[in-house]
Structure 1
């Protein structure tokens, strides 16, 4: 991982939270290289002991937040509350669940109960 060109952008957070460095690296490369997000920033989410991302999908103005995690992790409601709080209470965040085979599934999370669009 250290030899990859994107590691320099992630090194500070990856060294601070080494247990989540794999999912951070995998999510960053998916957003930056595959999905080509713009203005991608690495954020510190200390209450969740990991990094996260802030950026925009191509040709959009909406700022989105992505919090990576591993498929093997156990997360709690309190963990989600802390993530929303550390990120400044955005209307929603995306949870990037990374598997060992490099698959990533993104779940859109909103605080509280939200009626799905019809």
Structure 2
């Protein structure tokens, strides 16, 4: 892992929160290389939540003109075998000061699923 190009960007949080490190590493690489987000930054959610999050601007589809979104999106990595409390999710919304986060659920077979979570009750788009 230490020889991977992305290691230097996330090494501090990998050492600080080793139990959440694999999910952070997998999500960071997916967002960087597969999803191709721009202006990516790793954010420490604090020792209370023992994990980091990822901030960046998502790539727009070709039908949306290409380029990147103007507003930032946030991903909170966790593993499939992990149990996250509502306290952790509430803390992530508060610390990231956003209305939406993507919960990035990783598994041991390197697959990853993103669930968009909204803070409070939100009417779905029509």
Q: Structures share a fold, TM > 0.5?
A: yes
Shift in Å, 1:76: 1.6
Aligned residue runs from structure 1 range 1-118, under 5 A: 1-46=1-46, 47-58=48-59, 59=67, 60-88=69-97, 90-118=98-126
> What is the TM-score with the length of structure 1 in the denominator?
0.94
Measured on the aligned residues, the alpha-carbon RMSD in Å equals 0.9
- Could you tell me which runs of 5 or more consecutive residues in structure 2 were left unpaired when the two chains were aligned: 60-66
- Counterparts of 1:57 and 1:92, CA distance in 2: 13
Superposed CA deviations along residues 53-79 of structure 1, whole A, max 9, x for unmatched, are 110012221210110000001112111
| Secondary structure at 1:80 match in 2 | helix
4+ runs deviating over 6 angstroms: none
How many matched pairs? 117
Larger radius of gyration: 2
Per-residue deviation, 1:85 = 1.1
